Chains A and B, each alone.
Chain A
Amino acid sequence: MHETFTKSMARNIYYGGAAFFVLVFLGLTFDTTHTLPKRDNRANLTETVALGKKVWENNNCIGCHTLLGEGAYFAPELGNVYKRFGNSTEAIKAFIKSRPENGVPGRRSMPQFHLTDQELEGIAQFLKYSSEINTANWPPNIQG
């Protein structure tokens, strides 16, 4: 780099640029926080849904599945599984309940989690709630 561009100029760009964009980012975070109630379906965030999120986390479902496109790529997207299963929480519960203990021979397998009825209801309601978040029309189609 040329002599006219000195180290202290570079340093000032670093400090100034970083500080400026940290502030912009915080401002945008503030605005996002205020816009979210219109998009994040918090009206339906019931205690059952909160329990469902805990079941989701305590069983590490994210280690095989994506949820709104984030997670692992081994098993189907679940952000819209409620819709894929014909808007049925019962179908979700039945699927989770029916996983064989020793997997499906030769096929990618999902564990049998032995969830209680309450936990099953929670996870199903949590997936319903997730499917109603305004995700700007993602995923492109029902297959997730």
Chain B
Amino acid sequence: MQYLSQKVAKPYFVAAIGLFAGQILFGLIMGIQYLVGDFLFPAIPFNVARMVHTNLLIVWLLFGFMGASYYLVPEEAERELESPLLAKILFWVFLIAGALTVVGYLAVPYASLAKLTGNDVLPTMGREFLEQPTITKVGIVVVALGFLYNVGLTILKGRKTVINLVLLTGLAGLAVLFLFSFYNPDNLVLDKFYWWWVVHLWVEGVWELILGSILAFVLIKVTGVDREIIEKWLYVIIAMALITGIIGTGHHYFWIGTPEYWQWLGSVFSAMEPLPFFAMTVFAFNMVNRRRREHPNQAATLWALGTSVMAFLGAGVWGFLHTLAPVNYYTHGTQITAAHGHMAFYGAYVMIVLTIISYAMPMLRGQTAANSRRSQVLEMWSFWLMTVSMVFITLFLTGAGILQVYLQRYSAQPLPFMVVQEQISLFYWLRLIAGLVFTIGLGAYIASFFVGRTEPEAVAMKSVPVTA
């Protein structure tokens, strides 16, 4: 760690991991509700558990992105953060606003929360992923502005590296696109049209810039490969992301009342969206193969390689699976969507946040470069447990989805939704088991921060294979 102000990243990472645990707890609750329909009903209805699950996911990823920025921006800009105090204040504002919102979801019926927070003044609630009360949304905007001011000034006054500029573009885009969550017309089609400007243009647009720049930063650090090469790759990846992903939004405009030319545009452009993810995989493996040094933090390298592979599988392969209009006609809004949503979010955004945490946390906790061997071994176990179980969650949901599509939408005698759900429940049992294994993996991950603290730091092996 080269700058004192990088330290403010630490509470952000700690909060991210804590909220991650909460997210998974509610995932398990829903996993049970899929099988035992009235589990915890009416105390925690399914929709409430789902809001908590998805909103915690988004909030902890945002904590992760902010922590990542506070850590890497000063190092790239070669100066201290503009205002560490502001970063600390915004941390508490964001954490308390987030906690109050979740308490609100759980403590009172959603309709009461809407009333309590004056949703009728500016109705923005009750839409998937954007369930937060309007005042929470305003809070998010305020935190985002303060955060952008802080890292923006640091970047502009310091050394302007490609990584910093791409990261800043991604973060600014994230904030600007979120403003569309305040637009909620009575016209359902228009509502849905602009809803995707938040959701799709986030995960298949600006967030890819954030993903790419964090990955590039970690790869420079752990491989020692020349910055020029890494930056060129970064430009290629984000160019492909935006060239395919912007018009690719059209894969959500097939069946919501929008004109039918979107079936062509959406299919063709989104079919190319796997390219940037594929490039990321090639990039990560190439850089690690061409490494100029052995970094003692092998866990961080594993996460960096893992995120590139899993993002390609989840977003690229599972996205492509249902992105062509004639396929999507049958799979739209089924368990296929859930399968893809899980692996894509995990592979791309969960894993990149865990990558930067893995790289930065040892330094933030006073090590010189890495955790002890023992701690790293446990962390790598958690990597495999979580990643493999997520692969299985995805496969089981895909199985459920294929049967659902066939029984409900494709066979000669289409069956009602509830009947079909009953028939495919075996897959939901298997998903629940995989979810329990995921939870064990998460437990191992958290434990890895506490074991081997008294043991010596891992050291790099000397031999440097000079291949390629």
A74 vs B333: C-alpha distance when bound (angstroms): 10
Q: Are the CB atoms of B46 and A63 closer together than 8 Å?
A: yes
Q: Mark B276-299, 1 if CB is under 8 A from A, else 0.
A: 000000000000000000000000
B329 at the interface (CB under 8 A from A): yes
- Given A69-B332, A72-B47, is A45 in contact with B186 using a C-beta cutoff of 8 Å? yes
A49 vs B187: C-alpha distance when bound (angstroms): 9
Q: Which residues of B contact A21 (CB under 8 A)?
A: 242-243, 246-247
CB within 8 Å of B: which A45-83 residues = 45, 49-50, 53-54, 56-64, 66-77
A27 vs B41: C-alpha distance when bound (angstroms): 47
B462 at the interface (CB under 8 A from A): no
Contact count A vs B, C-beta below 8 Å: 231
B418 at the interface (CB under 8 A from A): yes
Q: Are the CB atoms of A140 and B330 closer together than 8 Å?
A: yes
Min CB–CB distance B147 → chain A (angstroms)? 23
A104 vs B41: C-alpha distance when bound (angstroms): 9
B263 at the interface (CB under 8 A from A): yes
Which of A21, A31, A56, A67 has the most B CB atoms < 10 Å from its CB?
A: A21
CB within 8 Å of B: which A98-144 residues = 101-109, 111-113, 129-130, 133-136, 138-144
Q: Are the CB atoms of A133 and B232 closer together than 8 Å?
A: no
A22 at the interface (CB under 8 A from B): yes
Which of B123, B186, B334 has the most A CB atoms < 10 Å from its CB?
A: B186
Min CB–CB distance A11 → chain B (angstroms)? 5
Min CB–CB distance A70 → chain B (angstroms)? 6
A10 vs B114: C-alpha distance when bound (angstroms): 48
Q: Which residues of B contact A13 (CB under 8 A)?
A: 235-236, 239
Main secondary structure, interface of A, reads loop
Q: Which residues of A contact B259 (CB under 8 A)?
A: 31-32, 35-36, 39
A28 at the interface (CB under 8 A from B): yes
Q: Which residues of A contact B233 (CB under 8 A)?
A: 1
Count of interface residues, chain A, beta-carbon cutoff 8 Å: 75
B157 at the interface (CB under 8 A from A): no
A144 vs B332: C-alpha distance when bound (angstroms): 10
B242's contact among A17, A56, A109, A144, by CB below 8 Å, is which? A17
A14 at the interface (CB under 8 A from B): yes
Q: Are the CB atoms of B123 and A136 closer together than 8 Å?
A: no
- Given A103-B42, A108-B33, A108-B37, is A63 in contact with B418 using a C-beta cutoff of 8 Å? no
Q: Closest residue of chain A to B405, judged by CB?
A: A140
Q: Closest residue of chain B to A58, judged by CB?
A: B114
Which of A7, A105, A129, A135 has the most B CB atoms < 10 Å from its CB?
A: A7
Q: Are the CB atoms of B188 and A17 closer together than 8 Å?
A: no
A53 vs B338: C-alpha distance when bound (angstroms): 25
- Given A76-B418, A103-B42, is A10 in contact with B123 using a C-beta cutoff of 8 Å? no
Q: Which residues of A contact B262 (CB under 8 A)?
A: 32
Main secondary structure, interface of B, reads helix
Q: Are the CB atoms of A28 and B265 closer together than 8 Å?
A: yes
Q: Are the CB atoms of A141 and B257 closer together than 8 Å?
A: no
- Given A58-B119, A64-B46, A71-B128, is A22 in contact with B110 using a C-beta cutoff of 8 Å? no
Which of A35, A62, A69, A105 has the most B CB atoms < 10 Å from its CB?
A: A69
A11 vs B114: C-alpha distance when bound (angstroms): 46
- Given A60-B110, A108-B33, A140-B329, is A73 in contact with B46 using a C-beta cutoff of 8 Å? no
Q: Which one of B137-145, B384-392, B406-414, B430-438 is at the interface?
A: B406-414
B257's contact among A17, A53, A103, A134, by CB below 8 Å, is which? A134
Q: Are the CB atoms of B41 and A59 closer together than 8 Å?
A: no
A14 vs B238: C-alpha distance when bound (angstroms): 7
Q: Closest residue of chain B to A130, judged by CB?
A: B188
Q: Which residues of B contact A42 (CB under 8 A)?
A: 187
B47's contact among A11, A39, A64, A66, by CB below 8 Å, is which? A64
Q: Are the CB atoms of A17 and B239 closer together than 8 Å?
A: yes
A85 at the interface (CB under 8 A from B): no
Q: Which residues of B contact A141 (CB under 8 A)?
A: 409, 414
Q: Are the CB atoms of B126 and A60 closer together than 8 Å?
A: yes
Q: Which residues of B contact A35 (CB under 8 A)?
A: 259
B320 at the interface (CB under 8 A from A): no
A18 at the interface (CB under 8 A from B): yes
- Sorted nearest first, the 5 A-B pairs with minimum C-beta distance are A63-B47, A57-B126, A69-B333, A108-B37, A138-B255
Q: Which B residues have a C-beta under 8 Å from some C-beta of A?
A: 30, 33-34, 36-38, 41-42, 45-48, 50-51, 109-111, 114-115, 119-120, 123, 125-128, 131, 162, 184, 186-190, 192-193, 228-229, 231-233, 235-236, 238-239, 242-243, 246-247, 249, 252-260, 262-263, 265, 329-330, 332-335, 337-338, 408-410, 414-418, 421
18 new A-B contacts, CB < 8 A, other than A40-B188, A58-B114, A60-B48, are A11-B162, A21-B242, A32-B253, A40-B187, A53-B186, A54-B123, A57-B123, A58-B115, A60-B47, A64-B46, A69-B255, A77-B333, A103-B41, A105-B38, A109-B38, A130-B188, A133-B189, A138-B255
Chain A to chain B contacts (Cβ below 8 Å), 7 pairs: A39-B258, A40-B187, A53-B188, A58-B119, A63-B47, A74-B30, A106-B38
